[in-house]
Amino acid sequence: MSEFKKERTLVIIKPDGIQRTLIGEIIQRYERMGLKLVGLKMLIPSEKQVEEHYLLDPNWKKSVGEKAIEGYRKKGLTPPTEDPIEVGDTVVAALKKYMTSGPVVAMVWQGAHAVEIVRKVTGGTEPRSSDVGTIRGDYVLDSYQMADTDQRAVRNLIHASGSVEEAQNEIEHWFKSEELMDYRLVQEQILYDVNLDGILE
Ligand code: ADP
Ligand code: MG
């Protein structure tokens, strides 16, 4: 099978997702699209693990700040600061508290365009504005405004890698190579094979 059909992405069901009893629902959303689960574990992350995870991409801190400032503007609100790095630092501190507050479920999903497909169904970062039909849009209601008012992280149920490169680094960060399964799913023949042979009797 060609390599792009084996793209992998990291998904973490965050502590609020576990507490909302949405593990099954969330797994089903990715599974029914045709993606294959190749790694799965439950753990309580350490602050170090969380900080390292978010700082794997050196540009993340600035971009998370820019996104939040833009989110405020779109709603006609004034952001608490104009400095994206300052927002980034605050978000890292909030994420350490949020992500270590209870067990999480970490997963690796594999399939064609896995990173993009998982992001699409997961929805945008802020549940208030993420699309209807996405997991974040359908199952939760948090906003930048509420998170900032209460000085905490946006509770959006899920982490999903943002790019193929990010996914590779993040998977290495959370999983040992022997924890990832190489196996075949029968349905892959229908999803990927050139000819749909063997259906008719
Ligand atoms: P995503 O998870 O959609 O890739 P980011 O990588 O930009 O989003 O941010 C990581 C996580 O940090 C988000 O999922 C959310 O939980 C939290 N977060 C992002 N921006 C803010 C913010 N401005 N205030 C509080 N928490 C935030
Ligand atoms: Mg991200």
**pLDDT attached to residue 91:** 93
Is residue 199 a part of any domain in this protein?
A: no
Q: How many residues does the chain have?
A: 201
Neighbours of 107 (CB within 10 A): 25
**Ligand 1 mean position, distance from CA 103 (Å):** 19
Is residue 197 a part of any domain in this protein?
A: no
Is residue 195 a part of any domain in this protein?
A: no
Number of domains in the chain: 1
Q: Is 79 in the pocket of ligand 1 (CB under 6 A)?
A: no
For ligand 1, atom 14, name the residue with the nearest CA: 125
> Average pLDDT per run of 10 along the chain, which is 201 residues long?
87 98 98 98 98 94 92 85 92 97 98 98 96 98 92 97 97 98 95 92 92
- Smallest Cα–Cα separation from 43: which of 155, 140, 173, 162? 173
**pLDDT attached to residue 138:** 98
Q: Which long-range contacts (CB under 8 A, 24 or more apart) does 48-56 make?
A: 49/173, 49/174, 50/95, 50/96, 50/99, 50/100, 51/92, 51/96, 52/173, 53/170, 53/173, 53/174, 54/92, 54/95, 55/92, 56/166, 56/169, 56/170, 56/173
Q: 107 is in which domain, residue-wise? A: 3-188
CATH of the domain at 35: 3.30.70.141
Q: Is 62 in the pocket of ligand 1 (CB under 6 A)?
A: no
Is residue 52 a part of any domain in this protein?
A: yes
For ligand 1, atom 6, name the residue with the nearest CA: 64
Is residue 110 a part of any domain in this protein?
A: yes
Q: Is 95 in the pocket of ligand 1 (CB under 6 A)?
A: yes
Is residue 69 a part of any domain in this protein?
A: yes
**pLDDT attached to residue 1:** 64
pTM of the complete model: 0.95
Q: What are the catalytic residues?
A: 159
For ligand 1, atom 23, name the residue with the nearest CA: 68
**Ligand 1 mean position, distance from CA 189 (Å):** 37
Is residue 140 a part of any domain in this protein?
A: yes
**pLDDT attached to residue 4:** 81
